[in-house]
């Protein structure tokens, strides 16, 4: 996982609990915590840190990862505004993740570990996103999508009927526009 993701997690934890909490999390996870944005660190290191945040805050992993996704979207959108600027609506933006955004990430950074995400429109108000990744971070993807919806000022709900955590080889994230 790229250092930029660790940097954003550090920002979220320090915003909530100060540097002291981040230090406690690093100690609990047994890592030293120096991360450079474009360097790659082991996925296990990220999972240990998330596990330590879960223990420290006493809230379930799914909630921590989902909230991190929402937060991560805001940070990515402000660090790399070109991607949200070039898509005029939420579904067009989501459809551009694989073919534009993550493709550019691969060009900018070496040794990336990105998911595969393909989208199918099933009517004006429904986009089905097919997510595949050995890291099975579908809940992070959900959080990122909720963050994107906030950015575009859209109300959405996400149904997740097919999931890699339930033995499937991919996840289906059905993103519906609501009227809110």
* Angle at the Cα of 143 from the Cα atoms of 98 and 149, rounded to 5 degrees: 75
Q: Output 16 or 102, the one with its CB closest to ligand HEM.
A: 102
- Residues 122 to 141: which contact ligand HEM by CB under 6 A? 133, 135, 137, 140-141
Phi (first) and psi of residue 2, to 5 degrees? -70, 150
- 126, 133 contact by CB (below 8 A): no
Calculate the CA dihedral of residues 7, 12, 13, 18 and round it to 10 degrees: 100
Smallest distance from ligand HEM to CB 20, Å = 27
Phi (first) and psi of residue 162, to 5 degrees? -120, 125
The one among 9, 52, 87, 148 contacting ligand HEM by CB under 6 A: 148
| Binding status of residue 66 toward ligand HEM by CB under 6 A | no
| Binding status of residue 105 toward ligand HEM by CB under 6 A | yes
Footprint of ligand HEM (CB under 6 A)? 1-2, 4-5, 73, 76, 80, 83, 94, 97, 101-102, 105, 112-115, 133, 135, 137, 140-141, 144-145, 148
């Amino acid at each position: 996982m790229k250092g930029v993701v660790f940097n954003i997690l550090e920002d979220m934890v320090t915003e909530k609990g100060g540097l002291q909490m981040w230090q406690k999390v690093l100690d609990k996870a047994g890592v030293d915590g120096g991360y450079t944005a474009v360097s790659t660190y082991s996925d296990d290191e990220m999972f240990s840190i998330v596990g330590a945040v879960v223990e420290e805050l006493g809230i379930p992993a799914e909630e921590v990862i989902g909230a991190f996704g929402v937060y991560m979207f805001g940070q990515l959108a402000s660090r790399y505004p070109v991607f949200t600027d070039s898509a005029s609506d939420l579904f067009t933006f989501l459809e551009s993740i694989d073919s534009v955004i993550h493709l550019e990430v691969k060009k900018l950074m070496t040794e990336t570990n990105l998911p595969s995400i393909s989208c199918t429109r099933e009517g004006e108000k429904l986009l089905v996103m097919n997510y595949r990744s050995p890291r099975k971070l579908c809940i992070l993807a959900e959080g990122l999508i909720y963050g994107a919806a906030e950015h575009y000022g859209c109300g959405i709900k996400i149904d997740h009927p097919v999931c890699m955590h339930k033995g499937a080889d991919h996840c289906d994230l059905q993103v519906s526009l609501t009227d809110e």
